Amino acid sequence: MRYGIVSPVIIANPRVVNPWEHDASIDAFAEVARTADRLGYFHLTASNHIAIPHGAAPRRGRRYWDPGVTLGYAAAITTRIRLATYVLVLGYHHPLEIVKRYGTLDVVSRGRLILGVGVGSLEEEFAMLGRDFANRGPKAREAIRAIRASFGRREPAFHGEFYDYGEVTIDPVCVQREVPVWMGGRTARSLRRAIELDCDAWVPFALEPEEVRDLLARARATEAYARRTRPLEVGLSPEPPLDPIGDPPCVRAAIAHHASCGATMLNLRFRSRSLAHHLEQMAAFAELAGSSD
């Protein structure tokens, strides 16, 4: 099992945010990033919304720091931890834009990028940005193929229905020969995309572990799954946020239950009263998880 941190401070989802995060600064995020790096967490995340329509704010929250800038900053103050977009909405960006921005991030982080992507579901934001909501699924599938075909190539080319380019230069190119690609979502369709497009992981949200278990069981019986060329990691996000200091047995049970339902990674949030308490929770979880291996 691998463990990553869903970064506090830079996202303020009303469902899970701790009150102290509302007034926290870049220094607080920096402390979380450095501590996660020191404690051996596998990855740190940043999510992607550009401008939240007010009507969506009660369920989505209002704060989403730009993932390229935020993870670039994290790259400069850490040495080991992976930097994951969790997730980047494909419909908001041209594939070459993603290849350039996040290929550069892979360079400055010395090969620590994880590209988590999703189709997107906030129709109001699509409309505001002038993006195509109705065709977002087919465009996302092709975008993943285009990104995969272009990462690591100084002169990329791709010819598809929605994206067509060649005779261009992208410099710099990413350090990793193959950047890990994670597929987000909350439906059987998102799992099919992850399987059929040979993504490295499926990272669903807002699903109960039992729902994930059942979806995985059906998917593993398909021909598409049998044709995969790599294992499919599964990253789940336990809710409510964990309290390893206050309730270690509950945390151990959550780890075991999510693993039994197919999780190979956990994306973690912690219940905390302050930055200092959050750092203590991170340390307590790392000790608890290590002792349970």
**For the segment 99-124, what is each residue's pLDDT rounded down to a tens digit?**
999 999 999 999 999 999 999 999 99
Residue for token pair 């956990």: 266
State the DSSP string of the chain.
Answer: -EEEE--SSSB--TTT--GGGGG--HHHHHHHHHHHHHHT-SEEEE---S---GGGHHHH-S-B--HHHHHHHHHHH-SS-EEEEEEEEGGGS-HHHHHHHHHHHHHHTTS-EEEEEE----HHHHHHHT--STTHHHHHHHHHHHHHHHTT-SS--EE-SS-EE-S----S--SSSS--EEEEESSHHHHHHHHHTT-SEEEE-S--HHHHHHHHHHHTTSHHHHT-SS--EEEE--SSPB-TTT-HHHHHHHHHHHHHTT-SEEEE-B--SSHHHHHHHHHHHHHHHHHH-
Tell me the mean pLDDT in the region 152-171. Answer: 98
pLDDT at residue 292 is higher than 80: no
Spatial contact of 38 and 92, defined as CB atoms under 8 Å apart: no
**For the segment 46-101, what is each residue's pLDDT rounded down to a tens digit?**
999 999 999 999 999 999 999 999 999 999 999 999 999 999 999 999 999 999 99
Percent of the chain with pLDDT over 70: 99
Distance, CA of 18 to CA of 174 (rounded, Å)? 35
Listed by start position, the domains of the chain span: 2-292
Q: Which CATH architecture has domain 2-292?
A: Alpha-Beta Barrel (3.20)
**For the segment 222-263, what is each residue's pLDDT rounded down to a tens digit?**
999 999 989 999 999 999 999 999 999 999 999 999 999 999
What is the model's pTM?
0.96
Tell me the mean pLDDT in the region 267-271. Answer: 98
Residue for token pair 């550069």: 104
Q: 263 Cβ partners below 8 Å, 6+ apart?
A: 1, 209, 212, 234, 235, 236
